[in-house]
Structure 1
Amino acid sequence: MRKENYVDIFKQHLKTSVRKLHLGRKWVFQMDNDPKHTSKVVAKWLKDNNVKVLEWPSQNPIEHLRVELKKWVRARIPTNLTQLHQLCQEEWAKIHPTYCGKLVEGYPKCLTQVKQIKGNATKY
């Protein structure tokens, strides 16, 4: 996906989703730090449309899980999009809740380190 596609998704769906979810006026949007999400084009659209965005360090449990999932799927060498989708679902289903729990338990230590090094990359 390109950053322009991301903005198009906002234009088409963000306000509708906020209404359908009954979020009212005081909601905060959360996204990861993917370069297309943090691009100037996206940041400008969000600012121009008064969308408050949650500051989110790139080192977080969701990112760690995404990286691991990508590694597990890549190791199975999908050969087409259908197989890629299937392998993603299979690998996702194998993730045990205790694995996610460990990622979350380690997050305070990670945040402390991120804060100490002012948002730069950590070993986490």
Structure 2
Amino acid sequence: MDNDRKHASKVGAKWLKDNKVKVLEWPSQSPDLNPIENLWAELKKHMRARRPTNLTQLHQLCQGEGAKIHPTYCGKLVEGYPKRLTQVKTFKGNATKY
């Protein structure tokens, strides 16, 4: 959840409250707190030179190039999360190096 309105329905909020799930507060749609944004950037970097000409090629190339991204890269993104969180808190929600 990133405080985006589509993730904050009344039903969802009630479920979280009823199940005592603690939700962290952070800026809506903050790429600094969303490691998947870094993964997308890595995939785009791999795709830049390929230049697909149709959706079928795009799909095939995304699958092929995505498979080349090593799982340890994803692990490092997750492991770096505490540093990201600290930086976002330090910069009070403003942009960070991430």
CA distance in 1, matches of 2:97, 2:7: 31
SS of the equivalent of 2:78 reads helix
* Counterpart in the other structure of 2:62: 88
Matching residue's letter, 1:57: S
Count of aligned pairs: 84
Say whether residues 1:123 and 2:97 are aligned partners: yes
Unaligned runs of 5+ in 1: 1-29
Alignment CA distance shift 1:46-1:98 (3 Å): closer
Structure 1 residue 70, shift from structure 2 partner: 1.9
Say whether residues 1:72 and 2:72 are aligned partners: no
CA distance in 2, matches of 1:119, 1:75: 34
Pairing of 1:1-124 with structure 2 (within 5 A): 30=1, 38=4, 43=5, 49-50=9-10, 51-52=12-13, 57-59=30-32, 60-124=34-98
Unaligned runs of 5+ in 2: 17-22
Instruction: Tell me whether 54-63 or 80-89 shows the greater mean CA deviation.
Output: 54-63
Instruction: Tell me whether 101-110 or 77-86 shows the greater mean CA deviation.
Output: 101-110
Structure 1 residue 93, shift from structure 2 partner: 0.8
* Aligned alpha-carbon RMSD (Å): 2.6
Instruction: Give the TM-score taking structure 1 as reference length.
Output: 0.56
CA distance in 2, matches of 1:61, 1:46: 18
SS of the equivalent of 1:100 reads helix
Instruction: Give the TM-score taking structure 2 as reference length.
Output: 0.68
Q: 1:32-87: per-residue Cα shift (whole Å, max 9, x none)?
A: x8xxxx5xxxx3x766x514396563212211101211221232111111110001
- Give the ranges of 4+ consecutive aligned residues of structure 1 lying more than 6 Å apart after TM superposition: none
